[in-house]
Each structure stands twice: as structure tokens, then as C-alpha cells.
Amino acid sequence: MQIVKIDSTPFNGQRPGTSGLRRKVKIFQQPHYLENFVQSIFDTQQPLIGGTLVVGGDGRYYNREATQTILRMAAANGVARAIVGQGGLLSTPALSHLIRKHQAQGGIVLSASHNPGGPNEDFGIKFNTANGGPAAETVTEAIYQRTTEISDYKTLDNIETDLDHIGTSRLSGMQIEIIDPVTDYAALMQTLFDFDCIRRLLRSNHFSMRFDAMHAITGVYATHILEEVLGAPAGTVINRRPLPDFGGGHPDPNLVHAHELVSMTQGHNGVDFAAASDGDGDRNMILGQNFFVTPSDSLAIIVANAHLIPGYQKQKIDGVARSMPTSQAVDRVAGKLGIDCFETPTGWKFFGNLLDAGRITFCGEESFGTGSNHVREKDGLWAVLFWLNLLAVKQQSVATIVQDHWREFGRNYYTRHDYEAVDKTAATQLMQHLRNRLEALPGAQIEGHTIEYADDFAYADPVDNSCSQHQGIRIGFTDGSRIIYRLSGTGTQGATLRVYLEAYEAAPEKQQQATASVMAPFVSIARKLAQIAQKTGRDRPTVIT
Ligand code: VG1
Ligand code: CO
């Protein structure tokens, strides 16, 4: 097997966004495109040379080809050992766990998460460091800088690895271990949750559930854990077969894209519990009968009830963190527990240092992401198992648990409006226009609400003191409500403007209103303040979650 050096020239724009480098498949298929990025990882991440690398993806179109390319390049660059999920498959949280379990020097995730897949859709690549988490900004910046000056890459002459059979083989000097993608992850879950208790619930005649794998990676994990290990009736997991194009859908677990599942919870005969995950298995949506749990509430409820769950009874809850646009529901729980609550920029990479330093035990994002210190990624099935364990212990409905929580802590009404694929220049101008007005806003009265503060969110990491600027425009009102604007860092078409809205209601008798009507005044303020219609030509969002 010959190691070859291939001449190459830089591509523009290989800077990773919120979660890795995401582009159309067609862009990744250009000769040298993927290779340049991968070589830039090896060039800048020296510990990988002679070290261990974990590789896997969500099974989307181009996953296999990319896995082969990465393995050839890893061998040619002197990686000693590669651990690869069978078929090139690994969920994002499972990959994170494997890095930690094997003390690997890093991992490569092939996924564009909740973005659609297929020859004309999206692909993505993300590098995770030795802690199991997404690389910090300093690392992704170094990789990006390297892509701007790259002149060649190392690979092996055309050789393919058998990805489908579990076992160990060699590729040039590198050992390749093809492993079952589910086994280690399932074992980790058993250390955290009371499987016997969940089993009783799932087998009871008084309880029904569905899990929607959305034809993505969690089909494999959920079928094994929920049906085979925990004994849920066959058919509990729907859309279980991972498909390269996710069956043509968006593998995005929200009320819009998981409508099939949502309809199963509706009406008098709706199931008691339903959940869905995304393309790469790190997101989750939690539903009860006729009831939707916002991700922000889910985080708060998880923290408030951690003492009921075996894996967290054993440990002290160090603190919690939420991304800035996530509702402040968890802040109130942290206040009551007397623990720290950190507000970080959007993206899981910002939780890594806090988790590693033992400053937080749980963290989450409004974008259907929740997790804990068991791995360094958000974890969809973990959240589902947490809820199942909670339902089994409390013997109450999802709605009762959430409503009781609101009564105790108050309710943070929450909604997010996305304006997708808007013109990039227009979106940038809209943000700049807001930024220019920030100083003038505090004290201003708009439609009966007074602005208390307005800023461009910057985060100083308390562990390594690194600073991240321009992480979203934050506008807070004197009554505790907030409007936040930011541009997505995961889209592949134009720009996506996200507007996050939150309003707090302490009075129990006012906690049963429809979110849309409570949020309507803030939606109107948000549109006016940012001149969304004038600047983007859009009079309504494309997705509301
Ligand atoms: C979105 C979400 C963010 C999440 C990121 C990755 O980013 O808002 O909270 O961490 O996706 O999620 P953005 O920049 O488009 O708003 V996923 O499931 O990739 O792995
Ligand atoms: Co994801």
C-alpha cells in the first residue's frame, strides 16, 4: 500500500460554523474538497499522529465514501488506530462516548445533523477533541487557517476498507476496528437509568409510547434499547430504518417536521409519551398526550428532578448551563438549588470546558438539545430515557409533571421564529442595523413594554478565559421577557435569521394560555425593532417552533 501525496489548492470558505463544516453534497464531492479539510485536521492536531481516531456518521448520502476517504488519509498520516462504527455509522453522542471510553485523541463525525440528506442536499464534517466534545473555537480556527494555505494531502492508493463486518484489520500501518455502533452506548445508558423501572412502565397496559427515528441514525439505537432491551412493544419505534435521504424528510424533531409523530399524541386516544430525534441522534423532542414540552422547559425539569434518577442521585449537581437564547426556566431551578447557572453562546462546544472542569452537570439548548456530563455532546436518546425514568418514578402524565413545575417555578412561554434562506447581505444588514441601535434602546417603551437592556452577546469562558464576540443581539424587558436575534451558523443556503422570544408568567391562573397568543405582542415588537419585512422582504417566518 503506497502512501501518496496529492497536490491541491485551497478552497474558499472552509470555516466551520456552529457545528462543523456543512455544505451541499455537491460541494463536498468536488475533488480534494473533503481531503483538504481532513488534511487540515491532521496537520493541526498533532496528537492524532500515532494516536487513536474514532470515525462515524449519521448514514446520510456520502457517509460511506467520506468514511473511506478519511480512513485512507488517517493511515497515510500515521494515525495508529481507527475505531469505526459498523457501516460507517455512529450517532454523535455515541461517538463522543467512544472517544472518552478509548481515550482517543479525537473523532470525526460525518453529519449535517437535522439538515436534509441526499445527492442534492447537505453533508457535514465535524472534529471532536480528546474530551469527546466538539472542538473549541481555537481549534476550528486553526483547522480553518490551515485550509487557506494547504498545498497537498496524504492518502493511500485506491483501497477500500470493509466497513460492514465487525472485527479488526490493518490499513497500511493503521489498525482498524469495526465495532457495533450501539453496544457501548447502550451500556452507558444502563449505568445512568433504572432500566427495570422503565421496563415495567413500558410493559404496562396503561402506558403507550412512540419514538420517531425520522429514518435517521437513532432508529438503530432506539430499536435496540427501547424494544429489545426495555421490552417496549414492537412498532414503538417508527421510521426506524436509516436512509441516505431520510426518506426525503427533514430529520428535525420539532412540531413541524415530526408532524406524523405529533398526530399520534393527539386526541383522546393519543399515546401517553412520544419522542423524536434528529439526523445524528443528538437532539430530542418530548411530547405527552396532547402536550408539547419546550426544550427549555425540558432542561429545567430534568435539573429539578435529577435527584430521582439513579445516575444523578449518586453525584452532586455541580451547576447548569444553557445557551443564551434558551429560556431562563432553568435559571430559576438553579436559583432554588443554589447552584451556578451559566449562559453560553449557541453551540455545544461552549459547554465543553464547563463540563470538563466539573462546573456543570447538565446543559441544554432551546434547539431541542439536552445533555449531561456523561458525554460531551447533546444526547437525544439520553433525554428520552431520562423522561421515561421520570415518568416511571412519578407515575404522572407528562402534562402534570410540566404544569406542576410551572406552578412551582413560573412558566417561561417560549417560541422561535426562523426566516430561512433569506438574502445574506440583507440579513447581515439587519443585524448591523440592530447593533447600531443598541445604545439607544435601554429605557425605550415599545407597545407598552420597557426595554431594560440591549446588547451584543459576548462570552468570556470562565475556564480558559477565551472570549467569543457577536453571539446574538439580546433585548431584555423590565418584566423579564426577552427577544433575541441571531444568524444561524449551520445553514447551507443564504442566511437564516432566528428570532427567539420568551415571556415569564408567575401566576398559575395565567399559565394555561396558548403560546402564540401570549407571544403575539413580542412577535410584533420583534418584527418592528429589526424591520424584518423591510429588510428581508419576508412578512412571516418559514418555521415556528
Ligand atoms: C443550530 C442550533 C444550535 C445547535 C446547532 C447544532 O445552530 O441553533 O443550538 O447547537 O444547530 O445542532 P444554528 O447556528 O443554526 O442556530 V445539531 O443537532 O447540529 O448537531
Ligand atoms: Co444533531
Sequence letter at residue 379: D
C-beta separation of 215 from 239 below 8 A: yes
* Residues with Cβ within 8 Å of residue 110, at least 6 apart in sequence: 55, 56, 57, 58, 60, 62, 63, 66, 67, 70, 88, 123, 124, 125
Pocket around ligand 1 at a 6 A CB cut-off? 18-19, 113-114, 278, 280, 282-283, 323, 346-348, 365, 367, 369, 488-490, 498
User: Rounded to the nearest 5°, which phi and psi values hold at 495?
Assistant: -125, 150
* Residues with Cβ within 8 Å of residue 387, at least 6 apart in sequence: 273, 275, 286, 298, 398
What is the reported pLDDT for 1? Answer: 73
* Residues with Cβ within 8 Å of residue 164, at least 6 apart in sequence: 86, 87, 178
Which residue among 18, 365, 377, 422 has the greatest number of ligand 1 atoms within 8 angstroms of its CB, and so is best to mutate?
18
Q: Work out the average pLDDT over 205-232.
A: 97
Instruction: Kindly report the protein residue whose alpha carbon is nearest to atom 20 of ligand 1.
Output: 113
C-beta separation of 531 from 430 below 8 A: yes
Question: What does the pLDDT look like over 312-370, one tens digit per residue?
Answer: 998 899 999 999 999 999 999 999 999 999 999 999 999 999 999 999 999 999 999 99
Percent of the chain past pLDDT 90, that is, above it, reads: 96
CA of 193 to the centre of ligand 2 (A): 23
User: Would you say residue 158 has pLDDT above 90?
Assistant: no
Instruction: Kindly report the protein residue whose alpha carbon is nearest to atom 2 of ligand 1.
Output: 367
DSSP assignment letter at 472: -
H or E stretch at 389? helix 380-394
pTM: 0.95
What is the reported pLDDT for 90? Answer: 98
Q: Work out the average pLDDT over 359-382.
A: 98
| Measured distance CA(351)–CA(370) in Å, rounded | 11
Q: In angstroms, what CA-CA distances link 366 with 12, 212, 280, 372, 429? A: 31, 19, 17, 15, 25
> Closest Cα partner for 124 from 217, 18, 221, 43?
18
User: Rounded to the nearest 5°, which phi and psi values hold at 535?
Assistant: -85, -30
Helices (H), 180-254: 183-192, 195-203, 218-222
CA 61 remoteness from chain centre: 20
H or E stretch at 405? helix 398-409
Domains and CATH numbers, the chain: 3-181 (3.40.120.10), 185-409 (3.40.120.10), 411-544 (3.30.310.50)
